């Protein structure tokens, strides 16, 4: 007898996953409907629904009304990354965190940046460059533009103690955003503060956040050489 150590919908989920892996229901196959599965597993349809829904969310199943539930042909791997606040990320690795402001100036961003942020081409922004240290070694370099039209309070914040990274999160609500990962080659402006070779390959995150229709901030973060972002799936 299979003791339901976990909750019931989870054991249904696991059993279904099991059968899929065992090729009992091969890719593309049409599964029995919820009602039948419920009978088989001896539970309510709601419970089966919960289990199948969670599998569909991970991309293992394709579900359509009336058409039924089928095993995905090519389960698109979905990798979910948590992008933590820099300080927490570093402290989680058991290292001491320090934030160092490199520069702070109000200026008009270059055209490309202004376009990306969707703010007028003459919009005043606060530009911040800062280093995040882990045990006194440069961990990441942050190059940020803050839209002063959206966040006028930023004009009076020195950002010497608290990083913009954290300050914005505390002060400014945002509704949505975009993230992009890439690899960039360290220019001199990056290599010198980071203490790496010119031309080094740096893992880079670009992030744009919005509040309603207004861009709040655009940031590019360069991580030290060899940095990896990983997750399980």
Using the minimum distance from each CB to a copy of itself, give the nearer residue, 178 or 192. 178
- Based on the shown chain and the rule CB under 8 A, indicate whether residue 230 belongs to the binding site for a copy of itself: yes
Of residues 45-64, those binding DNA (CB under 7 A): 45-47, 49-50, 52-53, 56, 63-64
Is residue 2 part of the contact set for a copy of itself (CB under 8 A)?
A: no
Tell me the pairing of strands 201-211 and 137-147: unpaired
Q: Which residues pair with 111 in a beta bridge?
A: none
Report d(CA 95, CA 124) in Å as an integer: 36
Tokens of residue 124, six digits = 């005043």
SS3 205: strand
d(CA 166, CA 91): 14
CB of residue 209 to a copy of itself, shortest distance in Å: 9
Give the chain's end-to-end CA distance (angstroms, integer): 29
Q: Which is nearer to a copy of itself, 53 or 133 (CB)?
A: 53
Interaction between residue 72 and DNA (CB under 7 A): no
Give the integer Cα–Cα distance in Å for 78 and 57.
9
Over the window 128 to 167, marking each residue x when it contacts a copy of itself by CB under 8 A and - when it does not, the resulting string is --------------------------------------x-
115 binds a copy of itself (CB under 8 A): no
C-alpha to C-alpha distance for 159 and 65, rounded to whole angstroms: 52
**From the list a copy of itself, DNA, none, which binds 231 (C-beta under 5 to 8 Å, kind-based)?**
a copy of itself
8 A C-beta contact, residue 148 and residue 126 = yes
| Two structure tokens written together for 221 | 């973060």
Binding site residues, DNA, CB under 7 A:
7-10, 31, 33-35, 42-47, 49-50, 52-53, 56, 63-69
Binding site residues, a copy of itself, CB under 8 A:
20-23, 27, 59, 74-85, 88, 166, 169-170, 173-185, 199-204, 206-207, 211, 223, 225-233
């Amino acid at each position: 007898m299979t003791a339901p150590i976990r909750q019931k919908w989870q054991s249904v989920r696991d059993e279904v996953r099991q059968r899929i892996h065992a090729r009992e229901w091969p890719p593309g196959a049409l599964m029995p409907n919820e009602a039948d599965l419920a009978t088989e597993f001896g539970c309510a349809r709601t419970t089966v629904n919960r289990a199948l829904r969670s599998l569909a969310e991970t991309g293992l199943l394709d579900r359509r009304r009336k058409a039924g539930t089928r095993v995905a042909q090519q389960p698109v791997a979905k990798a979910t990354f948590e992008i933590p606040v820099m300080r927490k990320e570093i402290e989680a690795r058991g290292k001491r965190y320090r934030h160092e402001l490199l520069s702070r100036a109000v200026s008009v961003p270059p055209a490309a940046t202004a376009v990306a942020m969707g703010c007028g081409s003459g919009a005043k922004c606060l530009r911040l460059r800062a280093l995040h240290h882990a045990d006194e070694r440069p961990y990441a370099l942050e190059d940020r533009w803050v839209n002063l039209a959206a966040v006028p309070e930023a004009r009076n914040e020195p950002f010497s103690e608290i990083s913009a990274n954290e300050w914005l999160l505390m002060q400014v609500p945002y509704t949505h955003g975009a993230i992009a990962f890439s690899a960039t080659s360290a220019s001199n402006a990056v290599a010198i503060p980071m203490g790496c070779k010119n031309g080094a390959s740096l893992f880079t995150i670009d992030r744009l956040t919005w509040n309603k229709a207004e861009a709040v901030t655009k940031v590019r973060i360069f991580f030290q050489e060899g940095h990896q972002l990983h997750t399980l799936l």
